[in-house]
Amino acid sequence: MLLMRGVNKYYTPGKAALQDCNVMIGAGEFVFLVGHSGSGKSTFIRLLLRELIPSSGQIVVAGQDLVKMKSWKVPYLRRNIGCVFQDFKLLPNKTAFENVAFALQVIGKSKHVIRTQVPEVLRLVGLEDKVQSYPDELSGGEQQRVSIARAFVNRPPLLLCDEPTGNLDPQTSLGIMKLLERINKTGTTVLVATHDRDMVDSMRRRVIALESGHVIRDQDRGVYGYVD
């Protein structure tokens, strides 16, 4: 599903944000990417979205070589990758339904598809009652659910989450994680970048740990493992 081989990324020459990164993630896996701020988690995610191009090395996502990829093809790559962020990135003047529908609308899906898929995915994330609510009428957890619904509505094979619970309390975070787990069970590969220690320790999933741009640990059924 996802392969990084010998990836280096420099923002300024001589100072690596990511160095000699070798990672392979198979289809259907659930992986935590952990590390302190500045350890390279966001760079990792942005490389996978091809918002960045590595300084050297090879990245393959969903069978496509991102380094050689032509820039006009990037949108079609992103249709295969769902994305969830810490700050939700919802449009404040659109309802939950419209926010999710927007993602389908802008990739040219028909009204019929929108009318059937949007309510379905909103039910999946447990927001069937809040379809017509605006983001400022929703709690943080509910907003993140809308954002997950938007990322997943197109049924992408890969879901990337950058600190999805960073703004949420532990109880709500647990609910979000359970939702991500449910999505993972449908066969979607899920990669969660986080520094939520309790979450990682309680879920016991594969953990890839980053420190100052290096992969220092990659273990199945791992724990957060740092001493803060």
Interacting residue ranges for other proteins, rule: CB under 8 A: 49, 72, 75-81, 83, 89, 91, 102-103, 105-108, 110, 150-151, 154
Q: Least Å distance between CB 111 and other proteins?
A: 9
Q: Compare residues 114 and 203 and give the one whose CB is closer to other proteins.
A: 114
Nearer residue to other proteins within complex by CB, 27 or 91:
91
Q: How far is the CB of 76 from other proteins (least distance, A)?
A: 6
Q: In what order do the strands lie in the sheet with 56-61?
A: 15-25, 2-12, 56-61, 64-65
Q: To the nearest 10°, the Cα dihedral for 49, 40, 180, 67?
A: 20
Ordered DSSP codes for 89-115? ---TTS-HHHHHHHHHHTTT--HHHHH
Nearer to other proteins, 55 or 105 (CB): 105
Min separation Cβ 89 and other proteins, Å: 6
Supply the minimum distance, in Å, between the C-beta of residue 214 and other proteins.
28
Please, what is the Cα angle at 141 between 138 and 142, to 5 degrees?
40
Task: Name which of 93, 113, 116 is nearest 104 in CA terms.
Answer: 113
Cβ-contact 49, 160 below 8 angstroms: yes
CB of 162 to other proteins, least distance (A): 11
- For other proteins, the closer of residues 107 and 216 by Cβ is 107
Residue among 10 and 85 whose Cβ is closer to other proteins: 85
The Cα 191–Cα 46 span in angstroms is 12
